Structure formats: structure tokens, C-alpha cells
Amino acid sequence: MVLADKLLIGTYKLRKCLKPGVALCSFRGGCLANYCSSNSPKPVTLPGSTFAQNTSRGGLQGHRPKEADLDISSPEEKPEISFDKAIRDEVKDHFRRLKDDIVNRWIGPEGRPLHEVLLEQAKVVWQFRGKEDLDKWVVTSDKTIGGRSEVFLKMGKNNQSALVYGTLSSAAPLDGEHSRSGYCAMISRPLRGPFERRRSYDWSQFNTLYLRVRGDGRPWMVNIKETTDLIQRKDQMYSYFMFTRGGPYWQEVKIPFSKFFFSNKGRIRDAQYQLMTDKISSIGFTLADKVDGPFFLEIDFIGVFTDPAHKEEFAYENSPELNPRLFK
């Protein structure tokens, strides 16, 4: 009877020890060693072992962890890349921009009422208040032809302006092809509509370019390009000078559109044409004063406005000898 009671008590304790949900500590006290067969070796659990680390996070669910609880990804699995989804998203974005263009055409530019646009006397086209404003511009220099000039563009103090700075070098590249060098430029990126369609700025209701800048006393060339599909006209632009005073104070520069002269590949043409302000593609600033050394130009904003006192339509004369097309 005593032997039978011991067997019954041992069986009961063994079932209780192997009950699912019991923590690992129940095994460490020799529970299996006391009630399992004496021929089987005792389990040895070393500190820091993998089994102890895995089971110390929570209770042991049965004799082996469930596969659903394991969060182990196979090394052969790769992130799913769907080109079809990317194309669909791109097409949706272009159609959304096309819809905005159509709606704005009926309502007015930038979704404003048309009567407000017609009565507008001034407009800020570019301002610099963050990195997204800098992304609308690109800088270039004579390094593209082997020169030594350097130009950089960054945000100014307190993210309230754009700072163009660098070093101008008039040393000609030693390639045997170019005899002149020494220029740096900052150019706005052309407007792009839906499906990469070219767009243009319409400044026909304004007559003056308006800038707020701060420079180091150097003269800059302001260049305006028209929207054109002709390859032979890609180097044509309209230009005028902007003289900076230098010093710590901001200056407001006002340049009438009638003052811009026509040039091709940097050369002023004998035949002059009036700037078409309803088809503006981009605007740029070029430094090429042949003075080697550091430079900087800080720009607050670039805009347009209507000067009621300015009545001049075109500042340059034409004659049948210079421009026969205008006198046919």
C-alpha cells in the first residue's frame, strides 16, 4: 500500500509538472529529475544559453513553440516590387495635375478668381523659404567646359533667402578649343505640366521685373528666356544688367521689360526684338565681370509688378537695314 501511494503521488506531480503553460523555472528545480526515469540524464541549463533566452521572454507554450509565434523571415524572401503599381501611380499623378490645369484655366491662375488676377498690381514668382524653393533652381559654371570657377547655392540665414556664392576664375581651359572662360550662373528650372508638357509664365499684365537682393558690389546679368520649340533658338535670350551696391543693406531692383535687349550665345544682336512677356520660360543670373575672386549674391524674392509711371514699350531702335522683317 505504501508503494502504491508513492506511485500515485509521483504520477500526479509528474502530470502537474508537464502541464502546458508552466514557466521554465519549474524545470530548473529538478522536477524532471525527480519524477522522470533515473536512466535519462538531467537537463543542464547554462546561463545565457539560447534555450534560456528564448524561454525567459514568456511562459513555455507546450513542449515546443508554436510556428505562429515565430517572427523569423526567410533570407530568401525579397521585398515585393511592383512596376505596374508604380506606373499606375505615376499616371494618376499626371492626370491629377491635368485636372488642376483645366480647373485653374476656368477659375483663374492658381485657383483664384479671375477678376482678382486682372486687378493684380504685383506678384511674387519665386521666393526662398525652404529647400523645396531651392530645388526650382540649378547652378552652373565654366567647369562644364574645363574652367576653374565654382558656384554653390544654399539657404541663407534663418531660411529667409537664397545665397549664391563661389569663386570666379577667368583662366581659360587648356584644351585648345576654348579661349575664354570665367562665368557662373543660377538658372530657374522650366515649368512642367502633366505628362512633362512645357508650360510658361504669363507676365503680360505686368511691365517691370522686381527683385530684392543683397550683393557684394559686382554687376550681374539678368537673363530671360522665352518658351520656344525651335532648336536654333535655344541659345537666344533677353538680358539686362543688375548692379549690386554691396554692404549689409537690402536693395530693391526694378528693371522694365522694355529694357531687355536681345542676344544670342552671349552676343548682342544688331536686330532687336521685343520680349514676349506671355511666354516666359525661365530666368537666370550670370556673373562674368572678369574679376577673379570670391563672390556672393543673396536673393529674397523675385517678382513682377506694374509701374504706372513707365510708358515705354521698347527701348531700342530698329531700321529696315537691321531688321527687315519688322518693316515688310
Do 92 and 163 have their domain in common?
Answer: no
Q: Give CA torsion, residues 208, 213, 218, 219, to 10 deg.
A: -10
Give the confidence band of 157 by pLDDT, cuts at 50, 70, 90: confident
Q: How many domains does the chain have?
A: 3
Structure letter (DSSP) for residue 198:
B
- CATH number of 289's domain: 2.60.120.430
194 and 94 in contact (C-beta within 8 Å)? yes
Do 28 and 142 have their domain in common?
Answer: no
Is pLDDT at 27 greater than 60 in this prediction?
Answer: no
Dist. CA 20–CA 135, nearest whole Å: 62
242 and 256 in contact (C-beta within 8 Å)? no
Q: Is residue 73 part of a domain?
A: no
What is the SS3 assignment for 189? coil
Do 20 and 135 have their domain in common?
Answer: no
Do 110 and 131 have their domain in common?
Answer: no
Do 142 and 271 have their domain in common?
Answer: yes
Do 244 and 150 have their domain in common?
Answer: yes
Q: Is residue 76 part of a domain?
A: no
Do 162 and 238 have their domain in common?
Answer: yes
Overall pTM > 0.85: no
Q: Is residue 58 part of a domain?
A: yes
Do 189 and 308 have their domain in common?
Answer: yes
Structure letter (DSSP) for residue 85:
H
Dist. CA 253–CA 124, nearest whole Å: 14
Dist. CA 228–CA 283, nearest whole Å: 14
pLDDT, tens only, 4-21: 454 445 544 445 444 444
What is the per-residue pLDDT for 44? 45
Q: Is residue 233 part of a domain?
A: yes
Q: Is residue 293 part of a domain?
A: yes
Do 115 and 246 have their domain in common?
Answer: no
Structure letter (DSSP) for residue 201:
B
Q: Is residue 74 part of a domain?
A: no
163 and 188 in contact (C-beta within 8 Å)? no
Q: Is residue 17 part of a domain?
A: yes
Give the confidence band of 319 by pLDDT, cuts at 50, 70, 90: confident
What is the per-residue pLDDT for 73? 45
Q: Is residue 75 part of a domain?
A: no
Give the confidence band of 320 by pLDDT, cuts at 50, 70, 90: confident
**In which domain, by residue range, is 98 found?**
82-119
